[in-house]
């Protein structure tokens, strides 16, 4: 890991296909400017068939010290890394890569980002017995990991395709229970956290009408979707007098560990950065 006093120029990337919608360049370039660092953070559009060659160039000491990986390369990045950490191994996917001692290291910062967002907004959020997670895709895995690692006793994963929720319950162990959508009302009773990890409500798309009244008294409702910032789930929850946290903070916080690995400074997530990203949405 670079030392914070190191002045050597460092370059990092975000790669995906497509990558043009990524907000990562906005976030990292804001930090580069704020901390007056001479490095760069660049979007690299890399097709699936080109990705192994991109990783080979990184390993052989090309331009970059490391970078972020987004859809569809997260699983391949994990497989091609020399040193994936335990978090990446559990998720089978990596979103952050860095070279150290000639080896490619990999982690996944999504679960960190999820927990850090809630820690910032509602410290103590995880002192609950039951969490409900809607959805069973890649984002759901990171949320399950985060909630489980905070010691929440019961995690209920509810998904349209029940089999995918069952796969996650098998993967994450006995605290995680799988359900079909029809069980949602039942498992929400007395839950202290509700998380939407599906694409429902994204960009004005379809949603579900939910009754949040049976959740525990001080329950939190949060959404992985952050476009729009106030998703249909958050609007419904607020109308029902519930506390909500939007998903933008997860995006901002998941970027922190990567920036620190590449550039040697742990950046702060503040209102200025949040406003900047909102302006560009």
Residues that bind ligand ATR (CB under 6 A): 135-140, 159-161, 164, 197-200, 206
Q: Which residue number, 79 or 161, has a Cβ lying nearer to ligand ATR? A: 161
Between the CA of residue 18 and those of 72, 128, 190, what are the distances in Å?
9, 39, 41
Sign of the Cα pseudo-torsion (33, 39, 44, 48, in order):
negative
Give the Cα separation of 274 and 49 in Å (integer): 35
The minimum distance between CB 265 and ligand ATR, in angstroms, equals 30
Asked if 258 and 27 count as a contact pair (C-beta separation under 8 A), the reply is no
Active site residues per annotation: 74
Is residue 240 reached through a cis peptide bond, with omega within 30 degrees of 0 on the bond before it? Answer: no
The minimum distance between CB 143 and ligand ATR, in angstroms, equals 9
Give the Cα separation of 262 and 31 in Å (integer): 12
Nearest CA-CA partner of 190 in 130, 127, 240? 130
Q: Which residue number, 136 or 152, has a Cβ lying nearer to ligand ATR? A: 136
The minimum distance between CB 176 and ligand ATR, in angstroms, equals 14
The minimum distance between CB 199 and ligand ATR, in angstroms, equals 5
Residue nearest to ligand ATR (CB): 137
Q: Which residue number, 107 or 198, has a Cβ lying nearer to ligand ATR? A: 198
Nearest CA-CA partner of 41 in 14, 60, 22, 1? 14
The minimum distance between CB 165 and ligand ATR, in angstroms, equals 8
- 106: CB partners within 8 A, 6+ apart: 77, 78, 81, 83, 84, 85, 88, 94, 96, 97
Between the CA of residue 56 and those of 17, 61, 77, 100, 111, what are the distances in Å?
18, 9, 11, 15, 27
Helix (H) or strand (E) holding 235: helix 232-239
Q: Which residue number, 52 or 137, has a Cβ lying nearer to ligand ATR? A: 137
Give the Cα separation of 218 and 243 in Å (integer): 7
Q: Which residue number, 58 or 158, has a Cβ lying nearer to ligand ATR? A: 158
């Amino acid at each position: 890991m670079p030392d914070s006093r190191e002045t050597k120029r460092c370059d990092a990337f975000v790669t995906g296909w497509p990558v043009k919608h990524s907000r990562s360049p906005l976030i990292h370039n804001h930090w580069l400017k704020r901390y007056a660092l001479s490095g760069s953070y660049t979007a690299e559009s890399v097709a699936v068939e080109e990705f192994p060659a991109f990783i080979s160039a990184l390993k052989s000491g090309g331009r970059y010290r490391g970078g972020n990986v987004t859809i569809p390369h997260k699983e391949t990045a994990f497989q091609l890394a020399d040193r994936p950490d335990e978090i990446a191994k559990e998720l089978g996917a990596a979103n952050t890569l860095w070279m150290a001692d000639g080896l490619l290291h990999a982690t996944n910062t999504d679960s960190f980002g999820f927990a850090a967002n809630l820690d910032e907004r509602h410290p103590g959020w995880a002192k609950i017995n039951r969490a409900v997670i809607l959805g069973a895709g890649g984002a759901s895995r990171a949320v399950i990991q985060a909630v489980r690692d905070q010691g929440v006793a019961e995690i209920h994963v509810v998904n349209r395709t029940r089999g995918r929720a069952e796969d996650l319950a098998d993967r994450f162990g006995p605290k995680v229970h799988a359900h079909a959508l029809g069980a949602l009302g039942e498992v929400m009773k007395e839950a202290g956290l509700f998380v939407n990890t599906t694409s429902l409500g994204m960009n004005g798309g379809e949603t579900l009408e939910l009754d949040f009244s049976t959740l525990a008294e001080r329950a939190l409702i949060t959404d992985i979707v952050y476009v729009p910032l106030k998703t249909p789930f958050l609007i419904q929850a607020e109308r029902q007098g519930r506390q909500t946290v939007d998903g933008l903070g997860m995006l901002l916080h998941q970027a922190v560990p990567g920036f620190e690995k590449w550039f040697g400074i742990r950046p702060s997530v503040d209102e200025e950065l949040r406003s900047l990203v909102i302006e560009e949405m």
